[in-house]
Structures are given as C-alpha cells and as structure tokens.
Amino acid sequence: MSAHPWGDELVERPVLSEQTVFAGRVFDVVSREVDLGEPGVVTRELVRHPGAVAVVVLRDGRSADDGAEVLLLRQYRVPVGGYLWEIPAGLLDGGDDETLLAAAQRELAEEADLVAASWDVLVDFATTPGGSSEVIRIFLARDVAPAPESGFVREGEEAEIRLEWVPLAEAAEAVLAGRMHSPSGSLGVLAARLAEQTGFTALRDVSTPFLLRPGLTPA
C-alpha cells in the first residue's frame, strides 16, 4: 500500500477556442481547442453535460442473518435499446441553488416514492472522461420511508419504471456476471457491497466537496 494518499487532481489547461457544434435539450457537443503545453495544441469534441446524482438505497434483509437489500429499478433506455436495472438517478437540473444532496433527495422521491433519514457519500465518478464532462455523485441512503404525496407524474420511459428490492450480494454478483450494465448502478452496487463488508465505516459526509465539480454545493 502507498505510504501517502494519492488520487485524481484538477489541472486547468488554456482553452484557446470553443465552438458549439450541437445544442441539445440535455447536453451540448462542443469543439474545444486546448493548449497542453509541451505536447502541443489539441482539438477535441466533447459532450458538455450538466452532471447528475444517483442513490444506492439500502434496507435490512428479511432476517438477522441476511445482508442488506438494495433497491433497483428497471427502465428502458433508448440509446442502448433495452431495459436496464439501475438505481434512482437524475440530472442536476433543479436550479442554481439546489445542492447535490437536495437533487438526490428529489430524485429518490420522484423515482422511488421514498425519503431517507440517513445519507452518506458513497462514490464519485466521471462517466466518460475521454468524451464527456458528465460526472456523478452516488449517495447511500438508508432508513427509508414512503414519501409524502407530491403529485409528480412519471412520463416517457419513467412511466414504465419497475422497482425491486434485491439482496445486495446478489446484485453485486449480477454486475460481475455481466447481467447488469448501468454505470451508476454497477459502480454503486459494488461500492455498497464493499462498504457493507467493512461495516460502512469509510463513508464520507454529505458535505464533502466533489473534486471534479468544485463549483457545486454538496449539501
């Protein structure tokens, strides 16, 4: 094991120019000219994305000998042409004043009709760092209860959402067996399984800054 902690770091490189190639409803495609210094100037096309949050929801198993159960949802995804098992998630589109935690709480209520009394940071990740600016914070939510009636109506693909409580160990096995492909769902399940095995002792507080999005308020 390394003697000193190591990790990713943000390093700004001069952006010489940027042009919007496509402006979409959720994301834009931009062409950016960046000066990398000694390696020279490069032009890269990338997806400029607002970012998102996701939530791993856990509850106790049916008996004292059982491990935790995780809430999964089955949803159709047009780009891959199939139903994927995922975790509650959504875009950071709640306005400039919405914190990462508030966005996660909103998505949990909208997609799963639940509220949670216990929240922690589980894992942060960049979905496609070679081609997109999308980054996601995955929260761990526990001590859940039914959410108050909000009148929120699920539309489109969300109208078909199907919810299932699955043993966390079984979900982790499904990821490793290639039966679960959602990036946030797969990473979240594996991280939660590891956290469970270590007694949830290494979780971060919800106020922890998000390295890749320093301009966002965590909680």
- The token pair at 64 is 């004292």
Using the Cα atoms of residue 153, residue 135, residue 162 and residue 158 in order, give the sign of their dihedral.
positive
SS3 per residue for the chain: CCCCCCCCCCCCCCEEEEEEEEECCCCEEEEEEEECCCCCEEEEEEEECCCEEEEEEEECCCCCCCCCEEEEEEEEECCCCEEEEECCEEECCCCCCCCHHHHHHHHHHHHHCEEEEEEEEEEEEECCCCCECCEEEEEEEEEEEECCCCCCCCCHHHHHCEEEEEEHHHHHHHHHCCCCCCHHHHHHHHHHHHHHHCCCCCCECCCCCCCCCCCCCCC
> Over the stretch 172-204, which tens digit does the pLDDT of each residue have?
999 999 999 999 999 999 999 999 999 999 999
- For residue 2, the Cα-to-chain-centroid distance in whole angstroms is 28
Catalytic residue among 33, 98, 158, 173: 158
> Over the stretch 40-79, which tens digit does the pLDDT of each residue have?
999 999 999 999 999 999 999 876 677 899 999 999 999 9
Beta-bridge partner residues of 40: none
Confidence of residue 14 (pLDDT cuts 50, 70, 90): very high
| Residue type at position 168 | L
Task: Give the total residue count for the chain.
Answer: 219
> Over the stretch 142-165, which tens digit does the pLDDT of each residue have?
999 999 987 777 777 777 899 999
pLDDT at residue 35 above 80?
Answer: yes
pLDDT value at position 8? 96
Using the Cα atoms of residue 106, residue 112, residue 114 and residue 116 in order, give the sign of their dihedral.
negative
Residue 56 to residue 142: CA distance in whole angstroms: 9
- Domains of the chain, first to last: 15-48 (no CATH), 52-197 (3.90.79.10)
Report, as an integer, the average pLDDT of 29-49: 97
pLDDT at residue 1 above 90?
Answer: no
Q: In terms of C-beta density within 10 A (0-12 exposed, 13-18 middle, 19 or more buried), how is residue 53 classed?
A: buried
Residue 158 appears among annotated catalytic residues: yes
Report, as an integer, the average pLDDT of 73-92: 96
Residue pair 92/217 in contact (Cβ under 8 Å)? The answer is: no
Q: Could you count the other beta carbons within 10 Å of the beta carbon of residue 117?
A: 9
